[in-house]
Amino acid sequence: MNNTVFFSVMAVFIAATLFLGWYGYRNTKDNDSFLLGRQKTNPMIIALSYGAAFLSASAIVGFGGQAATYGMSLMWLVFLNLFMGLVVAFLVFGKRTRRLGRKEGAFTFSDFLGKRFRSPAIRSFSAVIILVGMPVYCAAVLLGGVNFISTSAGLDKNLVLLVLSLVVAVYVTYGGIIAVMYNDALQAGVMFLGMAVILVFTYSALGGVTAAHEGLTGLWDTALAEFPKALALESNGMNGWTSFSSLGSNIWLTVVTTFLLGVGIGALTQPQLVVRFMSAKSDRDLNRSLIIGSIFMIVIVGTAYTVGALSNLYYYETYGTIPSLMGYNVDQLIPMFVTDLFSGVTFGDVFVSMFVLAIVCASISTMSALLHTMGVSGGYDLRTVYAQRRGLSDIEKQPSLRYNRIWTILMMVVVVILAYVMPNNIIAKATSIFMGFTAATLLVSYAYSLYSERPDKRAAFISITAGGAVWVVWGLLFCSSITNVLGYSSLIAGSSWALVDPLILALPASLLALVATLWLAPHRDPGDPTTGEAA
Amino acid sequence: MLAHYTGEMMTLLGIPDPWIWIAYLASFATVIFCCVYGWRKGNVEDETDE
User: Is B27–A87 a contact, with Cβ atoms under 8 angstroms apart?
Assistant: no
- pLDDT category of residue A201 using cuts at 50, 70 and 90: very high
What gap in Å lies between CA A234 and CA A212, rounded to an integer? 22
Query: Given a cut of 60, is residue B47 above it in pLDDT?
Result: no
- pLDDT category of residue B2 using cuts at 50, 70 and 90: low
Instruction: Annotate B7-48 with DSSP letters as a single string.
Output: SS-EEETTB--HHHHHHHHHHHHHHHHHHHHHHHHTTS--TT
Rg (CA), chain A: 23
Segment A340-347 long-range contacts (CB within 8 Å, at least 24 positions apart) = A340/A314, A340/A315, A341/A198, A341/A201, A341/A202, A341/A205, A341/A314, A342/A201, A345/A201
pLDDT averaged over every residue in chain A = 87
3-state secondary structure of B4: strand
To the nearest whole angstrom, how far is the Cα of A312 from the nearest Cα of chain B?
15
- Picking from B20, B46, B50, the nearest residue to A73 by CB comes out as B20
User: Is A298–B19 a contact, with Cβ atoms under 8 angstroms apart?
Assistant: no
CB A507 within 8 A of CB A265: yes
Average pLDDT value for residue range A294-309: 94
- pLDDT category of residue A120 using cuts at 50, 70 and 90: very high
Query: Given a cut of 80, is residue A302 above it in pLDDT?
Result: yes
Q: Which residues of B touch A239 (CB under 8 A)?
A: 17
What gap in Å lies between CA A379 and CA A401, rounded to an integer? 8
pLDDT for the residue A399: 65
Characterise B13 by phi-psi region: left (phi > 0), alpha (psi -120 to 50), beta (else).
left
**Chains A, B: CB contacts under 8 A, how many?**
110
pLDDT for the residue A480: 87
Which residues are paired to B3 by β-bridges? B12
Q: Of A529 and A81, which is predicted with more confidence?
A: A81
| C-alpha B43: how far from chain center | 23
What gap in Å lies between CA A197 and CA A125, rounded to an integer? 43
Q: Which residues of A touch B48 (CB under 8 A)?
A: 95, 99, 282-283
- pLDDT category of residue A349 using cuts at 50, 70 and 90: confident
- pLDDT category of residue A146 using cuts at 50, 70 and 90: confident
> pLDDT tens for residues A484-532?
877 888 888 888 888 888 988 999 999 999 999 999 876 655 554 444 4
Which of B31, B37, B44 best tests the A interface by mutation, with the highest count of A CBs <10 A? B31
> pLDDT tens for residues B22-43?
999 999 999 999 999 999 988 8
Q: Which residue of B has its CA nearest to A102?
A: B50
- pLDDT category of residue A83 using cuts at 50, 70 and 90: very high
What gap in Å lies between CA B11 and CA A533, rounded to an integer? 62
- Picking from B16, B30, B37, the nearest residue to A242 by CB comes out as B16
To the nearest whole angstrom, how far is the Cα of B1 from the nearest Cα of chain A?
8
Which of A294, A295, A303, A310 best tests the B interface by mutation, with the highest count of B CBs <10 A? A294
User: Is A210–B26 a contact, with Cβ atoms under 8 angstroms apart?
Assistant: no
DSSP state of A273: H
pLDDT for the residue A396: 58
What gap in Å lies between CA A144 and CA A419, rounded to an integer? 10
Tell whether B3 is within 8 A of chain A (Cβ): no
Q: With the CA atoms of A16, A19, A25 and A26 taken in that order, what torsion angle do they form, in degrees rounded to the nearest 10?
A: -130
3-state secondary structure of A248: coil
Of A245-259, A285-299, A308-322, B5-19, which gets the smallest average pLDDT?
B5-19
pLDDT for the residue B50: 44
Of A85-94, A139-148, A288-297, A387-396, which gets the smallest average pLDDT?
A387-396
What gap in Å lies between CA A486 and CA A480, rounded to an integer? 10
Is the ipTM higher than 0.90? The answer is no
CB A148 within 8 A of CB A424: no
Of A81-95, A246-260, A387-401, which gets the smallest average pLDDT?
A387-401
What gap in Å lies between CA A142 and CA A160, rounded to an integer? 10
Characterise A71 by phi-psi region: left (phi > 0), alpha (psi -120 to 50), beta (else).
left
* Inter-CA distances, A461 with A22, A107, A286, A328, A514, Å: 41, 21, 30, 44, 9
- pLDDT category of residue A312 using cuts at 50, 70 and 90: very high
CB A81 within 8 A of CB A301: yes
Tell whether B33 is within 8 A of chain A (Cβ): yes
- pLDDT category of residue A341 using cuts at 50, 70 and 90: confident
Average pLDDT value for residue range A356-365: 87
User: Is B20–A288 a contact, with Cβ atoms under 8 angstroms apart?
Assistant: no
Instruction: Annotate A381-422 with DSSP letters as a single string.
Output: IIHHHHHHHTT--HHHHS--HHHHHHHHHHHHHHHHHHHHHS
Its pTM stands at 0.85
Query: Given a cut of 80, is residue A261 above it in pLDDT?
Result: no
User: Buried b vs exposed e over A477-508: b needs ≥16 C-beta within 10 Å?
Assistant: ebbbbbbebeeeebebeeeeebbbbbbbbbbe
